[in-house]
Structures are given as structure tokens and as C-alpha cells.
Amino acid sequence: MTTSSSAGQSRRDFLFVATGAVAAVGAAAAAWPLVAQLNPDASTVAAGAPIEVDLSPIAEGQDIKVFWRGKPIFISHRTKKQIEEARNVNVASLPDPQPDSARVKEGHDQWLVVIGICTHLGCVPIAHEGAYDGFFCPCHGSVYDTSGRIRQGPAPSNLPVPPYAFISDSKIKIG
Amino acid sequence: MSGPSTFQPKNPVLKWIERRLPIFGLVHSSFVAYPTPRNLNYWWTFGGILSFMLGVQIVTGVILAMHYTPHADLAFNSVEAIVRDVDYGWLLRYLHSNGASMFFIAVYIHMLRGLYYGSYKEPREILWILGVIIYLLMMATGFMGYVLPWGQMSFWGATVITNLFSAIPYFGESIVTLLWGGYSVGNPTLNRFFSLHYLLPFVIAGVVVLHVWALHVAGQNNPAGVEPKSSKDTVPFTPYATIKDGFGLACFILFYFWFVFYIPNYLGDPDNYIPANPGVTPPHIVPEWYYLPFYAILRSIPDKLAGVVAMFSAILVLAFLPWLDSAKTRSMRYRPLAKQCFWIFVGVCLGLGYLGAKPPEGVYVIAGRILTACYFAYFLIVLPILSRIEKPRAVPNSIADDVLGKKKSVVASALAVIGVAGLLALDSGSTARASDHGSTPPSMSWSFAGPFGKFDQGQLQRGYKVYKEVCAACHSMNLVHYRNLTDPGGPGLSIAQAEALAAEIQVKDGPNDAGDMFERPGRIADKFPSPFPNENAARAANGGAAPPDLSLMAKARGYERGFPQFIFDAFTQFQEKGPNYIHALLTGFEDTPPEGFKLPDGSTYNRYFPGHAMKMPNVLSDDQVTYDDGAPQNVDQYAKDVAAFLMWAAEPKLEERKRLGFQVMIFMVILAGLLYFTKRAVWADAH
């Protein structure tokens, strides 16, 4: 008698565990769409397509701001002096060491294209300000140089360079 | 049932919390140790189902609100953007819109169960009245939610229902203006409806807590209608009621998902896929099916104020039920006469629901008056008199006796099931336009019909070609983008092909930094353009009638399927009214109208168009569009292809919906099976 009842018991336990497990899987699967809907929707993704920017109206020493995927992109037409300043730095002494050549496209030294979002906490720095003739973030005092590299203040890294390419001498495609 | 909890936690952390906030004890005494009558049948499961549905509606509603824009100009398109662009947006929207129907199905069964078994009688009067309050709140919430998509039915439903208050003497008009926040239903109305639609479910949840609290003080009623006397009469809530409710819920979810995944628009009205237009009223305004009986009562009374009063009284009379029915015997199981009257009453409610969907003419008006009289007679005459004159049969001494001497009343249950199915089948949308006088379009065979239906890619590509070369000369599709042509489950173009098609159009963009508008080639993120700069230009070019946007055409058009065909449609998953209609319209032109028909100037005779005089000329002719896949180049084929294309445009996630639906249904069948066997194993101990 004991044997058969314990066998019945284990069959029953298996049924309970299986039911619970299947129900748990269902609950977890039901949560998936509830989370997935938070992702960018298809129209947002489509609107994030690459943009083209005509550089010809930007005079030397001038910089413009364009938007791509909701982020400000700074495009600076650097002067000779600014390029010199960016080059004549001991790269090893920088908090985030990167030579200027790694931040611009070869043959297009005068064009600096960076995402204008401070790497500290996401404020937008001001161009042509700060001790290094580059960018200055008014929120917490981070200072970037003419190559957009961090020189002073709490920001941990350089202003990021977005993916872009020259499609002609005076036109770039960002994205 | 109440009083200090017997819950004694062992875990020191639980002990610490329990000493300060006895929440685990509360949960334990309410949902674990709580004694439930042993003889509860599955009609009692609907309480749990209702809690579940309230949860589903709140969760999906909160999420939909994250994507919805409550603005008169943007609301309609934001709902479409949810369905088209948001990840699983179509699922969440259909869960919510069909969830409302399921909520009402469950609440009607719950209420009828209460009526049949006398659940409103002493000591459960407050419990019952709280239920009536919940029902009123549900009606308000459901109505305001229906307004939010800002379609034609939403807009005109809001206009009609708010105008009910204009029946109030002296202050009526001012009250309506106050409700609208304007001189007509408009943006302020939509904003406040959205705010309240978001608020009321939480009020409902609050009253539900009171409802459950009152339930736990008085204890559950049961089919025998006798109070538990000893511990033999009850079983603990967990695991007995929990597992039984779990199985019942799984079956209900299967039913719910049938609608969500396979016939998601069956319970809605096609007119609500037409954007709200304050200048045109749909031929018949019908509420959602769950309000139809009350709508019928409203229309039966040939006086504005009296009609409104009758409609609200029809609900409020329920609150007085505990005093209208003074019978000592609770359950109608032991009251043969009352039982018969109850089923007649159910029939009266179904009849009123049917009449609510019919136009108020001829015999329907008379029938409506008779049934309205019957409805009130049940509460005000039948129950008070019966409770005094009827001699009930002997009730069992205890619940345990009832369980032992149980005979299954299969007939009653079957009747009830049929009743519910009938209620459900009173689909408003398909029955409401009886006076269209159009011929019924023939049912075509579509590759996308049925549970495993898929779009025919070649057909969609041909349909797009017909749209582009013929329809696009007059019509826009401003909810469809070139990128959609590359979406899975669509025409299956490559991104390069879609880009090339988009580049063929010129899009007006700007202003640029000089403040000028400019033209640029289209991109895949652009939508299918309108050939006209604005609506007035479109009207001018088309003899006064603006060609409608085609994005939702296949969902926004329907025709009467008639009784009983529309009941079978729920089982056969018939959802192809739109494409059938489009095909019929495009092939239904006739050069010579039948004798006696006076065709207005500038119109063409069309057999299937309501009224037959169509402003759109016959635009299709054989060999007009060149197909390169060998499909026949004739009007019939063009019409079929473009109808299929418009179906895809209206429901781009159709394939995904059916595929996911199949997986979910299989899963739910397995889960329901496991729950059934677990339930049997658990209840084996109880006998």
C-alpha cells in the first residue's frame, strides 16, 4: 500500500511541477511584448537614416550644428591655427589619448565632426569656448580642445566621432 | 472568514514584517486559508476571470497610453502608428480592444450568476450594490475608451451619448457644453475622456477591493444557496479554488485569444477605421455590443427625457434587487417558477441586444417597447410577486448534503452557454446597416483567409502596381510608407527596390534655412503621397467628392452579413468583408443603370455601392496594367490584386498575428490540459 501511494504521490508531484513550469514559461513569454514595445518604433528607426550635409557654406573658423538621430552634431571648419594646436599636443599626456589624425578624415584635416554631447553627463558643450579654443561644457566645466578631446574637468573621454564619410569634397554623409 | 489571522510565519524576516504590517497574514487569510464552499460551479470562476481582465486592461492600457496622442488631429494616426510601427503594438491594441468585450462578457455572466443564485440576498446587499457601482464605472470607462481612437463611430458615439444629458430640463444644454468643453465634441472632449479613461480603472480597482472585502466578510454564496455550517462544507481557497479558477481562466483565455489573434475586428465597427468627420454622420450610430440592450431601451421610449431616465433606471434597478426579491430561498435551483422567469429574462436581454443593433423602424420599434416592458416587469412585478406566492422546493440541509446528492443540471448550463454565444454574436457592426440597399458582394477566396492564411507576395506586388498606375492618380495612402514595402509579411521588395520607387516621387519639404519650401526626391521613410496638394484641390478635381485615403480601406468597409451568417463568421474566422467589397466595387460598374433608376449627373452606376450612384468612374479596363509574371491582365484580376494589396496596407501585421496566434493557442491548450489534470488531482482529496 505504501509503495503504490508514494508512486501516486510522485506522479502527482510531477504533474504539479510541470503545470507550474508551463505556467511560468507562459507568464515570462507574456512579459516579452510588454518590454519589447519600449524599443524605438519602426518610424523612429526609419527616421534615423543617414543624412547628407553640404559643407560649402561653412566659412573657415565657423562651426554649425546639425541633428542626427536626435543628437547635435558639431561640424567645425578649423583654422590653420586650430589644426596646429590640435597636432602639437603630447598625445600621451591626454586623459583619453588619441592623435588628431584619428579624429578627422585623411585629406580633410580642416573638418572636425563630433557628436556635441559631453561625455560626462550628456549636456551640450559650447563651441569656441574654454582654455583650449575648443569646446566648453557649462554644466560641470569639462573643457575640450580643437580636436574635441577632453583636457580638463570631469568628463572621462573625448567627444565621440559619429560614423560619417565624404561623398565629395564639400559634402558628407552622416550615419 | 474574518478576524485575526492564524498565519504564523517561521522566517524571522517575515516575522519582523508581520509584527509591523500584517500583510502576509492578510494575503494568507484572504487567498490561502479562506474557506470556500465545496459546491461552487464554474459560474463562480468569472469573479477571478474579471480580476484577471481588469489587470490585463490596466497593463495594456498603461502601455498603449505611452504611444497614444490625445489630440483631435493626431489621435487616429497615433493609434494606427501603434498598430503598424510599435513592437507588438498590434498585439497590445487588440488585447485591449477585445479585452473590453471579454470584460463585459465576463461581467454579464457574473451578474446573471448572481441573479440566478440569489447572491444579492442578505447578508450580501452591500456586496451586490458595490457590484452595480463597478458595472456603472465599467460602462463609463468602456464608453470613454471607445472614443479615444477618434474614428467615425467614436466621434458620433461621443456626440450621441453626451447629448443624452441635454434631456435634463432647464440645464440640459449647459451641461452638455460643460461636458464637451466646447460648442461640439472636440479636442477638449477628447483630452478629458483620455484623462478619465486612464483614471477610472483605478477607481474600479478600488471598488473591487471593497467588493472583495465585503465578499470575504459575508462569505461566498453557492449554488445551493445555504450558508456553510461546518468545516465539511468548505475547502481552503488554495489550492482548491485557485486551481479550479486557474483552469477556468485558461479556457477563457483560449476564447479571448481566438478573437485577438484570428478575428480581432469582429466585435468592432468598420466605420471606426474612418477618421472622425464632424461633417458626416454614419447612417446608423450603434454602440459597442455590450451597450446594445440599454440602447434599445433608450430608443423604445418616444420621449427624450423619459428614454434617458428609462435607460439609467434599467441599470439602477439592479441596486434595489435585494429588496425587490424578498424570497427566503436564495438559489433559483429550488424555485421552479423563478427559474423559468429568469431564463425568459435572459432571453429578453438578448432580444433587446438584437434590437439595439437594428435600425429603429417598423416592427423593431414595437418589439423594443414590448421587451423594454418585460425587462422592467421582471424586476418590478415578477420578482416581488413571485417571492411572495411561490412555494420553493426544499433546500438541502448543508453544502455537504448538496454535494452528495448532486445531479447535474446539464440543460441549464447548455442553455446558458448558448445564451452567452448569442449575446456575443449580436455583433453590432455587421447588422446595423439594414437600409443600404446594396447587393451583397460575392465571397472571394483569398490566400490570407483562415488561421494559416498568408499574403501572396506576387499578388501584393501586382496589386501595388495597379495602385501606383491607376489608383494613385487620385488616392493617397498616407499611413503606408515606402519602407513598408520591404517589411516581412508584405510585398517583399528589397530595400534598393523600395528606394528606387521612393526616388520616383517628389516630396515637398522644408522650410530650409532661407525659409523656402523645396522639392526633393522621396526616401523610403516617406509615405505614399496624395496627387493633390490639399483636400480642396482634390474635391475640385473630382466633382466635389474627395477621393478617400486608401490606407485603411479594406478595414473601413463592410457589408451586412445577416443573421445567422455573422454568428458562423466567429467560428470560420471570416474577416474578408473589406477585400470582398473592394473587389466587388471595382468590378460592379454597369454602363446602363436598371430601368427606373435616375443616375445623378457626374456619377456612375455601381451595383455594390450603397445607393448605387458612385462618383468614382470605372477606372479599370483590360490590358491596362502590364504584368510581367504571366497573371491574366483583366479587370477581375486587377481588382483582386489591388484588393489584396489594400488588405495588406490596412493590416500589415496579419501574417505575424496569425503565426504568433497559432503558437500561443497551442501553448494555451497544453497549459489548460495540465491545469485540468492538476485540478482533478487536487480535488481528488476533497471527496
pLDDT confidence of residue B622? 95
Domain B286-434 in the same topology as domain B42-223+246-269: yes
Q: What percent of chain B has pLDDT over 90?
A: 83
CA-to-CA dists, residue B102 to B46, B249, B594, angstroms: 11, 12, 46
Which residue in the block uniquely carries the three cell numbers 504539479? A16
Mean pLDDT of chain B: 92
**Catalytic positions of A:** 140
Contacts of B3 (CB under 8 A, 6+ apart): none
Nearest CA in chain B to A39: B87
pLDDT digits (tens, 9 = 90+) for B336-359: 999 999 999 999 999 999 999 988
Across the range B650-667, mean pLDDT stands at 97
Q: What are the backbone angles phi and psi of residue A74, rounded to the nearest 5°? A: -90, 130
The answer, yes or no, to whether residue B430 has pLDDT greater than 90, is no
CATH of domain B286-434: 1.20.810.10
B349 annotated ligand binder: no
Domain ranges of chain B: 1-30, 42-223+246-269, 286-434, 457-661
- CA A30 vs. chain centroid, Å, equals 32
Give the architecture-level CATH label for domain B42-223+246-269: Up-down Bundle (1.20)
CATH of domain A46-174: 2.102.10.10
CB contact under 8 A, B63 and A37: yes
Nearest CA in chain A to B89: A37
Across the range B466-479, mean pLDDT stands at 96
Least confident range from B292-296, B413-417, B594-598, B638-642: namely B413-417
pLDDT confidence of residue B422? 60
Angle, vertex CA B317, rays to CA B312 and CA B320, nearest 5: 145
How many Å apart are CA B505 and CA B471, to the nearest integer? 15
The answer, yes or no, to whether residue B237 has pLDDT greater than 60, is yes
Cα-Cα end-to-end distance for chain A: 75
pLDDT digits (tens, 9 = 90+) for B443-457: 999 999 999 999 999
Q: Label the pairing between strands A171-174 and A51-54.
A: antiparallel
CB contact under 8 A, A37 and B89: yes
CB B429 within 8 A of CB B608: no
The answer, yes or no, to whether residue B432 has pLDDT greater than 80, is no
CB contact under 8 A, B681 and A46: no
Q: What are the backbone angles phi and psi of residue A6, rounded to the nearest 5°? A: -75, -30
The answer to whether the Cα torsion of B502, B521, B467, B553 is positive or negative is positive
CB B618 within 8 A of CB B589: yes
The three-class DSSP label of residue B54 is: helix
Rounded to the nearest 10°, the torsion over CA A86, A87, A89, A90 is 140
| Residue B687 confidence class, pLDDT cut points 50, 70, 90 | low
How many Å apart are CA B250 and CA B671, to the nearest integer? 7
CATH of domain B457-661: 1.10.760.10
The answer, yes or no, to whether residue B498 has pLDDT greater than 90, is yes
CB contact under 8 A, B87 and A26: no
Residues of chain A with pLDDT under 70: 1-8
The answer, yes or no, to whether residue B120 has pLDDT greater than 90, is yes
Across the range B473-479, mean pLDDT stands at 95
| Residue B404 confidence class, pLDDT cut points 50, 70, 90 | confident
Render the burial of B470-495: b for 16+ CB within 10 Å, e for the rest. Answer: bbbebbbbebbbbbbbbbebbbebee
What count of CB pairs under 8 Å joins A to B? Answer: 68
The three-class DSSP label of residue B72 is: coil
Considering only the beta carbons, identify the residue of B66, B86, B483 that sits closest to A46: B483
Considering only the beta carbons, identify the residue of A19, A33, A43 that sits closest to B88: A33
How many Å apart are CA B155 and CA B62, to the nearest integer? 22
CB contact under 8 A, B87 and A29: no
CB B529 within 8 A of CB B483: no
Across the range B525-543, mean pLDDT stands at 91
Q: A interface toward B at CB cutoff 8 Å?
A: 12, 15-16, 18-19, 22-23, 26, 29, 32-34, 36-39, 41-44, 46-47, 49
The closest of B87, B430, B490, B41 to B244, measured between CA atoms, is: B41
Q: A11, A32, A43: best mutation site toward chain B, by most B Cβ within 10 Å? A: A43
> DSSP characters for B430-486?
HHS-GGG-PPPPPPPP-TT-STT----HHHHHHHHHHHHHTGGGT--EEEEEGGGGG
Least confident range from B384-398, B468-482, B587-601, B622-636: namely B587-601
What is the DSSP secondary structure assignment for residue B274, as one 8-state letter? S
Mean pLDDT of chain A: 92
Can you tell me the ipTM of this complex? 0.86
Which residue in the block uniquely carries the three cell numbers 432647464? B170
